[in-house]
A and B are shown apart, each in its own frame.
Chain A
Amino acid sequence: MSARDGTAETLGAAIEAGRVADRVWLYSNYHCNLSCVYCLTESSPRAARRLLPPDDMIAAADEAVVLGYRALGVTGGEPFLTPGMPELLAALAARLPTLVLTNATLFTERLLDRLRPLADLPLTIQISLDSAQPEINDELRGPRNFAKVMQAIPRLVDMGIPVRIATTGDHNTAEEMERLCALHRSLGVDDDDHVVRPIVRRGRAVDGGLGVVADAKDLFPELTLTADGAFWSPFAPTVYEGRLDTDLLLTRQRLPLDASTRALLAVAESNPAGTDTTLNIR
């Protein structure tokens, strides 16, 4: 049995036991057209781009298949600021079901046309929406964000591309959350495709004292590759005051995925069962 076969076997058992995620996350870039108040990566139009080479993302996807991962995730920054993202997503989704996180503010007619072929692939687009009230959503996420999201979601749904809504933060009262849920249902997004998660106090959220403090034991282990290395979770490769946080770094080496997977498993298996995900942040 090769070393990689051994990694695949251990990974498969860890996934089945619910000790690590079956998804590999890829940080395509760190820059963004928005500057959300709670952004983990201090993303903004001026942020360092930290681009993950597309060839590395494809290589990671190929090896993810061999190792037995079952899904991919693409996040940033705003992934659709990088050239060729629709075509890259098609290549990734041809290998494994892929989830891409976006603010949905860049979906011009031209970009939507390039996304149309993705309806035939296992690709889901997850769009951030924090409130049913435009003024509250836009205060958190940026001017005119709400209106653009309201335009984008029906277009994607009509094209046959599955859409998920992600709401970050605990600012919504029960009544406001019900309004938000009624809104996403009206846009064609089911309750099962609406995720609500806390703000994690890293990146820009530190300055505002927002959200919850989370360490490795609080974050579900999900292998995450960035331009800077392999990390414990998509909540890990954060930036504060322009400096990359390394406290949840696994290895500087991204590929082969076998090596970073072994590092993830080594740390995950060193944690006693039941100590993970106490904050249920996924």
Chain B
Amino acid sequence: MSRVELLGADQVPLLARPYYPEDGSASPIVRALAQVPELLEVAMPFVARVFGPTSLDLRTKEIVVLRVSARNGCRYCIDTHTVAAWDAGLSEAETAALRSAGTGFSPAEAALVGFCDAFCDAPAPVPPDVAHGLQAHFPDHAVVELSLLAGATVMLNRFCTALELPTTPATRARLEAAA
């Protein structure tokens, strides 16, 4: 049960209406943000751009989002991005690893996992050896994007956990089917 009312289709504010698909699949994040339409209409384009297709491949991005969410203990984001990671090509074993020890990945992806772990240890600079390990595999523009993606994930982790947003039935069904 969410800590705030998640606005249903009959209460969608005018500026929020474009973010409510007709099939009723508006996410709990959208339904919470709809309480403040003027923030929804700037937050969701940002979230869609950062988490959607960019120069980084989706597999790399989902590793970051799921690992950061696991380190922050955000149940909503872990559930949602376990399924999203499967859709991005990660195996069930890989998503299980990202939710636990974070081992079993290629050198580049292991560097990514190490970066996520250090990122979540903030406030502190990422240790030089971790930063250099990441930069051995990713150019500067990718490091910038990965840092923004990790930061945006932390923001959503805090938001979803504080408001106790519910895992959607569709996500829950996928997780239960795989269990």
List chain A positions with a Cβ less than 8 A from chain B: 216, 232, 245-253, 259, 263, 266-267
Contacts and interface: CB of A to CB of B under 8 A. Distances in A.
Interface size class of B (residues with CB under 8 A): 10 to 19
Contacts of A252: 35-38
Interface stretch (B8-16, B88-96, B152-160): B8-16
Most A CB within 10 A of own CB, among B10, B13, B14, B15: B14
A216 B36 CA distance: 18
Most A CB within 10 A of own CB, among B13, B34, B35, B37: B13
Contacts, number: 40
B11 A253 contact: no
Most B CB within 10 A of own CB, among A245, A250, A251, A259: A251
Nearest to A245: B11
Contact of B37 (A216, A245, A250): A250
A246 B13 contact: yes
Contacts of B13: 246-250
Contacts of B37: 249-252, 263
B11 to A, nearest CB: 5
A257 to B, nearest CB: 14
B7 interface: yes
Given A247-B11, A250-B13, A250-B37, 20 more contacts: A232-B14, A245-B11, A246-B7, A246-B11, A246-B35, A247-B10, A247-B13, A247-B14, A248-B13, A249-B13, A249-B14, A250-B14, A252-B36, A253-B38, A263-B15, A263-B37, A263-B38, A266-B15, A267-B14, A267-B15
A263 B38 CA distance: 8
A267 B36 CA distance: 16
A267 B18 CA distance: 11
B11 A251 contact: no
A253 B37 CA distance: 9
Nearest to A266: B15
A121 B144 CA distance: 61
Interface in B1-59: 7, 10-15, 34-38
A251 B35 contact: no
A83 to B, nearest CB: 31
Contacts of B15: 250-251, 263, 266-267
Most B CB within 10 A of own CB, among A249, A250, A253, A267: A249
Nearest to B10: A247
A47 to B, nearest CB: 20
A156 to B, nearest CB: 37
Contacts of A267: 14-15
Most A CB within 10 A of own CB, among B34, B35, B38: B38
A238 to B, nearest CB: 11
A1 B165 CA distance: 43
Interface in B40-90: none
10 contacts: A246-B11, A246-B13, A246-B35, A249-B14, A250-B13, A251-B36, A252-B35, A252-B36, A263-B14, A267-B15
